[in-house]
């Protein structure tokens, strides 16, 4: 008896022809958020690359600093809300080093951080114990009798030849930090084009750098189809939904004052970490007790109308007045909804998620037929239903709100969607009648 599998019912011989198929599952899913990018001037660490930092990252090994050090203040602020921070060290520098007889020890990276490293070679005879210290704390140890046997570690590199000799302390020096320029930020923007993220901060008051960041955000959104947001300080004239302009800073619990430029790190983390069904309006700035600049009611209203993100004090803490971006030039085609970040996250998330769905599962894989378009429409409807289930959109009517049509060319598909993003309650108008 014949048998096997089949694609169409065209078999000639008698037999059992069996095919196995997976139960149809939707590939469309609401994407997760939480990735913010942060350029920093640091004295140690990889240069010219984005370093992924999360709860599992060994900060001391990566950047040569204790997590509580002042140099990492903005990273700590960003990480309060972001799940992942992409840290970009903006400038290299001169490597610290020291030569003791026939052994040369050089910091792994350029910068002033290398000056905080010491190597000790101890023991009465080979093999000797070779220990690397960072600010007096042991970070690495190994044993060797010859210099050629030494293995470079995350902090220092060894060179030279011959037998090791005991040394109480080989203190590295001469490390210096490089200058951060506009070209440094251009390299940061170039690196961002290769990764996935939701926001990036520009913690500087340099107007030229801020303008470059705004131009980059526009290019990413409009030319690359990558719906990200830039967070800058004091630049509401950007007048663009892809740019958040922070007006003031905060004072932390330990008395540290963060300027508006510094606060961009926290805002980037907060915005990246906010999901499509969440708003940052009246959300707390974690660990802040006051703002660095106070404003009157009329000044706050003017700031909001200008498209500025502003922090306000509230009962010994600090909250976000409104979760808005810098867009204010409303038109009939592009209304006020685009200035509110919660609805914008819905729109941006939809664009990114459906693009990924199409590219991974339909582009070049599904025929542009009525059946193929119906299949894709079902995926889109399923995705929108997920958004409605979590309260990100409302009033979905699949029959009326979703169209998937053939385009002009034989390989083109046209999708028309009508959605209503949900914003958060922000204004209460109450009338009380007294009898």
Contact in structure between 177 and 112 (CB atoms under 8 Å): yes
> What percent of the chain clears pLDDT 70, i.e. is strictly above it?
92
- Topology of domain 35-90+181-320, CATH: Ribosomal Protein S8; Chain: A, domain 1 (3.30.1370)
The mean per-residue pLDDT over the stretch 227-239 comes to: 97
pTM, two decimal places: 0.88
Q: How far apart are CA 353 and CA 66, in angstroms?
A: 38
The mean per-residue pLDDT over the stretch 284-288 comes to: 97
pLDDT of residue 357: 87
Angle value at C-alpha 363, between 361 and 364, nearest 5 degrees: 110
- Taking 80 as the threshold, does the pLDDT of residue 359 lie above it? yes
> Taking the domain 93-177, which CATH number applies?
2.60.40.4290
pLDDT of residue 26: 55
pLDDT of residue 431: 75
The mean per-residue pLDDT over the stretch 275-298 comes to: 95
Higher pLDDT, 427 or 334: 334
- Taking 80 as the threshold, does the pLDDT of residue 240 lie above it? yes
Range name among 6-10, 111-115, 202-206 with the lowest pLDDT average = 6-10
Interval 12-45: pLDDT, tens: 545 555 554 544 455 556 667 899 999 999 999 9
393 phi, psi to nearest 5 deg:
-130, 170
pLDDT of residue 28: 58
Contact in structure between 191 and 153 (CB atoms under 8 Å): no
Q: Give the residue extent of every domain in the chain.
A: 35-90+181-320, 93-177
Contacts of 424 (CB under 8 A, 6+ apart): 279, 281, 323, 342
- Taking 70 as the threshold, does the pLDDT of residue 5 lie above it? no
The whole-chain average pLDDT of the chain stands at 91
């Amino acid at each position: 008896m014949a048998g096997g599998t089949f694609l169409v019912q065209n078999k000639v011989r008698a037999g059992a022809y069996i095919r196995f198929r997976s139960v149809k599952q939707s590939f469309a899913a609401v994407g997760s958020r939480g990735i913010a990018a942060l350029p920093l001037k640091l004295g140690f660490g990889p240069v010219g690359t984005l370093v992924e930092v999360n709860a599992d990252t060994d900060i001391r090994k990566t950047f040569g600093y204790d997590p509580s050090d002042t140099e990492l203040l903005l990273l700590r602020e960003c990480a309060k809300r972001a799940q992942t921070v992409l840290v970009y060290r903006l400038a290299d520098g001169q490597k610290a080093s020291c030569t003791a007889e026939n052994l040369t020890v050089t910091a792994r990276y350029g910068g002033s951080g290398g000056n905080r490293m010491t190597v000790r070679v101890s023991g009465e005879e080979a093999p000797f114990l070779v220990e690397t210290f960072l600010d007096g704390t042991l970070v690495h140890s190994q044993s060797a009798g010859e210099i050629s046997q030494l293995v470079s570690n995350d902090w220092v590199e060894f060179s030279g030849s011959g037998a090791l000799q005991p040394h109480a302390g080989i203190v590295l020096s001469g490390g210096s930090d490089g200058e951060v320029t506009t070209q440094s930020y251009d390299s940061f923007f170039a690196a961002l084009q290769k990764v996935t993220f939701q926001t990036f901060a520009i913690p500087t008051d340099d107007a030229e750098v801020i303008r470059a960041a705004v131009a980059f955000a526009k290019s990413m959104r409009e030319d690359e189809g990558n719906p990200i947001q830039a967070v800058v300080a004091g630049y509401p004239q950007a007048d663009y939904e892809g740019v958040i302009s922070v007006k003031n800073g905060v004072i932390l619990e330990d008395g540290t004052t963060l300027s508006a430029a510094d606060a961009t790190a926290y805002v980037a983390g907060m915005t990246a970490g906010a999901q499509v069904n969440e708003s940052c309006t009246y959300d707390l700035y974690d660990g802040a007790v006051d703002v660095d600049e106070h404003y009157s009611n009329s000044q706050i209203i003017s700031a909001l109308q200008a498209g500025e993100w502003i922090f306000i004090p509230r009962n010994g803490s600090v909250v976000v007045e409104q979760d808005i971006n810098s867009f204010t030039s409303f038109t009939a085609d592009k209304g006020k909804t685009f200035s509110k970040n919660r609805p914008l996250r819905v729109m941006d998330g939809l664009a990114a998620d459906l693009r990924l769905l199409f590219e991974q599962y339909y582009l070049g894989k599904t025929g542009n037929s009525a059946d193929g378009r119906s299949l894709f429409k079902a995926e889109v409807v399923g995705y929108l239903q997920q958004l409605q289930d979590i309260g990100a959109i409302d009033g979905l009517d699949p029959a009326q709100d979703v169209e998937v049509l053939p385009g002009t060319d034989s390989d083109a598909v046209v999708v028309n969607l009508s959605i209503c993003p949900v914003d958060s309650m922000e204004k209460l108008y109450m009338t009380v009648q007294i009898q």
